[in-house]
Copies of this chain bind each other. A is one copy, B any other.
């Protein structure tokens, strides 16, 4: 999420097609072992069809033809997002008493001039020389060269490229227009060298590569123009005069920094503390394509933790010290490996792999958060930024990367931004963004001070007195000592703008004085964890998706109850009126318990309704049939193993409340409630 870096590019480079089965072993009862979630390999096309069908999200303005990089979240996606945000707020803001902010998206241009975004938050683009179509220069080079290399491999009869989904394959073939053409060995080498360096090329160099390798627009086979810089901020104008340019923020961070003084005051002047904000940001990507992973409008959650630059320890580091993380540090990457090291965060900080405790603390907390909402820990790693990848001011930066069907994607950035932002804004506006700390023991210093005998001095030098005084007061310690010595000898001569003045001890004395400093003033450093919620949401959906062993068509989203859009589905046998009172009773009792439920009384079989809700990720189902009306009972169904239990309505509600709150598991449910052996509600 750092502004000047473009993460997906990098992630793809590291391991573009690594594919691990979408399996997420969660703490569950032994019964759960009977479900084989990897019976069918992960199928992205099926998942995307499901997400579209169940309206998790869809292209925005679809009926107007859609706009690349803009997506609307439907009821399922919105709830999932709201639940993730809710948990984020608890896990970070409430747990650590952070100061929440809600700052504006529309931002006047001077702010981003200061932050560096106006000059540097840009990508290189080329245009098709005939059609004017715009392409991102580095993506073009990458796609064409990778496709040619793939064609070369095929021609040489080597193993086909690693599995990828058909759509991507087609695109790449089209991009190359050079399927199964063998290349000279030195050409292969130079392509590979170029791809490895891709992040380092300037615009001019990318243009040179296009000419050197005859890289054209794959859609038209036309040549492309010289690369031009394109700023990724959406521009607008504030007010009616047209004289106040503004931008939509590309990150929420600047809104924190500009309010630093107010936040510090709110926190009674004390550091460390953190501000936090959840909100929309915008990046006008040149040609966004990767679904929710690269979009033009997205929801972020950012923390700015302000810390004394001389003391980056963290009071609660001891609580996370033993958390084991998969760390892919800079040195390992330089050695050409992408194999992370398992290490406790305590060890990593002790060894200097991670720069300081505060950074380490947040890495561990990020890890815990991602696991809590359902990210597969085996597909999560922390990758350290390379020296040339990091913003120039940053001290250290680690990305939480989550593996998905496109490779490893940066989903959370965790950077030590040092004092950069507060310093530049303070310098620009003249508003001090500093901490004033009362020192426990005052710092005592001594220095030489000029003392003028005002009466004699004024009488002697008249209109020159002011100039001389200003000059002497501006002198350094060494010069004052020299004058002091000369005065002790009787007199000293000083020269100002070619004019000399002779001073005697009668007009000037230099005295050594003692100073006591009881306040220390400093610009705090900022540790910034920055979350791309859309990316987390999408990777979570990939990690949660599987199909029933007996039927690949029956997709399931095993979302944890904590974030599942709906917690309980209420299923009356039919829409018959006699079930209404029970449906009402269960709904309102669940509502009172704070459990979000939905009723599905549509005209299809119960099995079909459950299948639909497995796709929606609803963890529990309550079924009402004629026996319910007679006995005031209902059944409780678990989504993943499709086990059903039966009990009184109140017992079932109490049990499902405990389940959703995470205080019991299904094994405990099995002990509490008898199995249901009826037939009506079976899937």
Output the nearest chain B residue to A257 by Cβ-Cβ distance: B63
Q: Is the CB of A64 within 8 A of B268?
A: no
Q: Is A194 an interface residue (CB 8 A)?
A: no
- Chain A contact-residue range equals 35 or more
Cα A269 to Cα B230 with chains together (Å): 45
Q: Is A550 an interface residue (CB 8 A)?
A: no
Interface residues of A in 582-634 (CB under 8 A from B): 591, 596, 598-600, 602
Q: Is the CB of A284 within 8 A of B71?
A: no
Cα A248 to Cα B74 with chains together (Å): 20
Q: Is the CB of A102 within 8 A of B72?
A: yes
Q: Is the CB of A284 within 8 A of B100?
A: no
Q: Is the CB of A106 within 8 A of B425?
A: no
Output the nearest chain B residue to A133 by Cβ-Cβ distance: B241
Q: Is the CB of B75 within 8 A of A100?
A: yes
Nearest CB on B from A402, distance (A)? 21
Q: Is the CB of B240 within 8 A of A104?
A: no
Q: Is A32 an interface residue (CB 8 A)?
A: no
Q: Is the CB of B71 within 8 A of A99?
A: no
Q: Is the CB of A134 within 8 A of B73?
A: no
Q: Is the CB of B258 within 8 A of A64?
A: yes
Cα A17 to Cα B284 with chains together (Å): 46
Interface stretch, picked from A77-85, A210-218, A651-659, is A77-85
Nearest CB on B from A365, distance (A)? 15
Given A101-B73, A101-B75, A280-B280: A63 touches B431 (CB 8 Å cut-off): yes
Q: Is A111 an interface residue (CB 8 A)?
A: yes
Cα A297 to Cα B102 with chains together (Å): 11
Q: Is the CB of A79 within 8 A of B100?
A: yes
Q: Is the CB of A68 within 8 A of B239?
A: yes
Q: Is A110 an interface residue (CB 8 A)?
A: yes
Q: Is the CB of A101 within 8 A of B125?
A: no
Partner of A591, one of B95, B101, B598: B95
Given A62-B258, A235-B237: A297 touches B106 (CB 8 Å cut-off): yes
Given A100-B82, A591-B95: A58 touches B237 (CB 8 Å cut-off): no
Q: Is A439 an interface residue (CB 8 A)?
A: no
Q: Is the CB of B596 within 8 A of A94?
A: yes
Output the nearest chain B residue to A100 by Cβ-Cβ distance: B78
Cα A70 to Cα B599 with chains together (Å): 42
Output the nearest chain B residue to A288 by Cβ-Cβ distance: B239
Q: Is the CB of A104 within 8 A of B70?
A: yes
Cα A104 to Cα B61 with chains together (Å): 9
Cα A5 to Cα B78 with chains together (Å): 30
Q: Mark A38-75, 1 if CB is under 8 A from B, else 0.
A: 00000000000000001100101111100110111111
CB-CB under 8 A from A134, the residues of chain B are 239-241
Cα A441 to Cα B238 with chains together (Å): 58
Cα A244 to Cα B67 with chains together (Å): 9
Output the nearest chain B residue to A433 by Cβ-Cβ distance: B63
Interface residues of A in 392-446 (CB under 8 A from B): 425, 429, 431, 433
Interface residues of A in 219-263 (CB under 8 A from B): 230, 234-241, 244, 246, 248, 255, 258-259, 261-263
* Residues of A in contact with B (beta carbons under 8 Å apart): 54-55, 58, 60-64, 67-68, 70-75, 77-79, 81-82, 89, 94-95, 97, 99-108, 110-111, 125, 132, 134, 230, 234-241, 244, 246, 248, 255, 258-259, 261-263, 265-266, 268, 270, 275, 279-280, 282, 284, 286-287, 296-297, 299, 425, 429, 431, 433, 591, 596, 598-600, 602
Q: Which 4 A-B pairs have the closest CB atoms?
A: A73-B102, A63-B431, A75-B99, A78-B100
> What are 13 A-B pairs at a CB distance below 8 A?
A60-B103, A61-B258, A63-B258, A72-B102, A72-B258, A72-B259, A74-B99, A74-B101, A82-B89, A132-B241, A235-B236, A237-B284, A268-B600
